[in-house]
Chains A and B, each alone.
Chain A
Amino acid sequence: MKKEYVVIGNSVAGLSAVRAIRAIDREGSITVVSEERHLPYSRVLLTHYVAGKLRTDDLFLIQEAFYQKMRVRLLRGVRAVRVVPGERGVELDDGRWLRYDAVLVATGARPYFPAVFARGPEGVLGLRTLEDAVRIREAALSGSQIAIVGGGPVGIKLACALQEAGLSPTLLVSSPHILSQVADQEAAAIIERHLARAGVRVRCGVNVEELVAGRRGLQALMLSDGSVLACDMVVVCKGVRPQVELVAGRVRVRRGVVVDAGMRTSAPGVFAAGDVVEVRDLITGEERPSAIWPHAAAQGRVAGTNMAGGRVAFPGALQRNALEVLGLPVVAMGVTRVPADPAWECVITRSKVAYRKLVLKRGRLVGAVLVGDVEGAGIIQAAIRRGDAGWRQLVTPRAS
């Protein structure tokens, strides 16, 4: 019998699920429901678009032909309203009803806006969609004053992009240093110095207290240190939150959709993958959403395979980020901040151009921060995943 698959979400998790389903099931019908009208594009590359290094055409991950090759029915610009596991169907906003044997919820996440920005005037936005990026690019080209809130990878990449586009953006960070969720203080200091040399203003330890709106939208930000920052646009990069409305109340949801290692939700036939789920962290064992690209791709593949009757598992999440800050490569993986506990130690090598820190817990490699020289980062990641003691060869400097 032909199986009917429905994939809600048309980004990396959804696509890799489609590939995985087709690799096993050549007969079944696959329907992809996409809220956006565009072909899937790479959200990570949006900052490159803002910088003017890529055109919109370069952002698309696949061509239209992919859907024909995979024999996928693509519904564009259609939103799924709810998934009803009891009747094995999905209701769409145009009133259609899709029956499924297996459905994948890959609705992703949306930017998180702190309360002060919640009902902000024109000029407050996040950076998640192509439309956001186009608006920021237009503002950048018209020479607007743009402030960025949030010192995470997205905020930093956007600041770099705007700097490359010829602006001098301001990065507002509420933590005492940038990348507070990702890297340690010393690495952050190196990156901050690098940003400052390039002309990006970074202000740490400040919060936005109030938005000052004028007749034509945003005019200024009142900051917690009492100063006022004039700007026409503020981009909030304070992380993302899973979009769980579609299945809320029908499957188990905490911060994200709760799934097992096979990406199955609590309802039979309903799978979830990508930024929408929360997964167990390999190192800390904590269940939390992990909004990173490689996880979405791997989870999509796991979900797709299991939907088509295979049996695979997702090994667990390893938090990691790679970014290029105006020519300075940065990689941070696993646990990067060391608690004051004798069981933890750090092995740090510093040179003129590089800072490399390995974090060990009871002799086991659990994290790393590499700035300037990221050669062999993957080897370190593999060592973290294996959890063996053979990490020492990783610190010995490379003979050129």
Chain B
Amino acid sequence: MQKVLVIDADRCTGCRQCELVCSYEHEGVYAPTLSRIRLVKFEDRCLNVPVVCGFCDKPPCEDVCPTGAMGQRAGQPYAVVREENCIGCKECVHACPLGAVAMHPRKGVAMRCDLCQGDPACVKVCAPGALRYEPLDAAVRQKRRARVVALGVLRSPEEEEC
């Protein structure tokens, strides 16, 4: 079963451990700007949203890439940025509807999540469980359940009493 990276923003505490471990995994330094996963904070709403590649089926970043740098490397199951082909035109950065592709500030090439080739480090360090890496059907089941509960919460108190 295909596994997906599930983001549960409700649980995110905004600790930025995922950013740190991601940059360390990929670049060997602790620097959030070098991370493939980025945290967006809405302070006024106490909302923290980790943003990461959505692993689209028809990725716009791959569509717009003029050099074919966004894509799979032969023999590797997860999509990467082929840095040797990347010219740093930033088309993918702008095309990504999630804002999950960023530019490497030093190398001048695109950065995007490669799921650590199947073993995402961010998931392992996420203490509150805002990031999960699980089979697609399990993720859908959980989401469905959460939705039903949420809908229940929205009912008026009278209805809930019956």
Binding site for B on A (CB under 8 A): 23, 261, 302, 312-315, 379, 382, 385-388
Contact = CB atoms under 8 A, between A and B. Distances in A.
Interface in B65-102: 65-68, 82-85
A385 B68 contact: yes
Nearest to A316: B84
A382 B86 CA distance: 12
Contact of B84 (A23, A314, A379, A387): A314
User: Closest 3 CB pairs between A and B?
Assistant: A386-B68, A313-B84, A382-B66
Nearest to A261: B84
A179 B55 CA distance: 46
B68 A388 contact: yes
Nearest to B65: A386
18 contacts: A23-B106, A261-B84, A302-B84, A312-B83, A313-B83, A314-B84, A315-B82, A315-B85, A379-B66, A382-B66, A382-B67, A385-B67, A385-B68, A385-B85, A386-B66, A386-B67, A386-B68, A388-B68
B92 to A, nearest CB: 14
Interface string B103-142: 0001000000000000000000000000000000000000
A134 to B, nearest CB: 37
Contacts of B82: 315
Contacts of B65: 386
Nearest to B87: A382
A385 B83 CA distance: 14
Nearest to B109: A312
Contacts of A313: 83-84
Contact of A312 (B66, B67, B84): B84
A313, A379, A386, A388: most-surrounded residue (chain B CB, <10 A)? A386
Contacts of B84: 261, 302, 312-315
Contacts of A312: 83-84
A315 B83 CA distance: 9
A23 B84 CA distance: 17
Contacts of A23: 106
A316 to B, nearest CB: 9
Contacts of B106: 23
A315 B67 CA distance: 10
Contacts of B66: 379, 382, 386
Contacts of A302: 84
B86 to A, nearest CB: 10
Given A313-B83, A386-B67, A388-B68, 13 more contacts: A302-B84, A312-B84, A313-B84, A315-B84, A379-B66, A382-B67, A385-B67, A385-B68, A385-B85, A386-B65, A386-B66, A386-B68, A387-B68
Contacts of A386: 65-68
A313 B83 CA distance: 8
A261 B84 CA distance: 10
A42 to B, nearest CB: 22
Nearest to A378: B66
Contacts of A385: 67-68, 85
A315 B71 CA distance: 14
Nearest to A383: B66
A46 B67 CA distance: 31
Nearest to B82: A315
B65, B83, B106: most-surrounded residue (chain A CB, <10 A): B83
Nearest to B68: A386
Interface in B38-76: 65-68
A385 B68 CA distance: 7
Contacts of B85: 315, 385
A279 B103 CA distance: 29
A312 B82 CA distance: 9
A261 B73 CA distance: 14
B83 to A, nearest CB: 6
B23 to A, nearest CB: 16
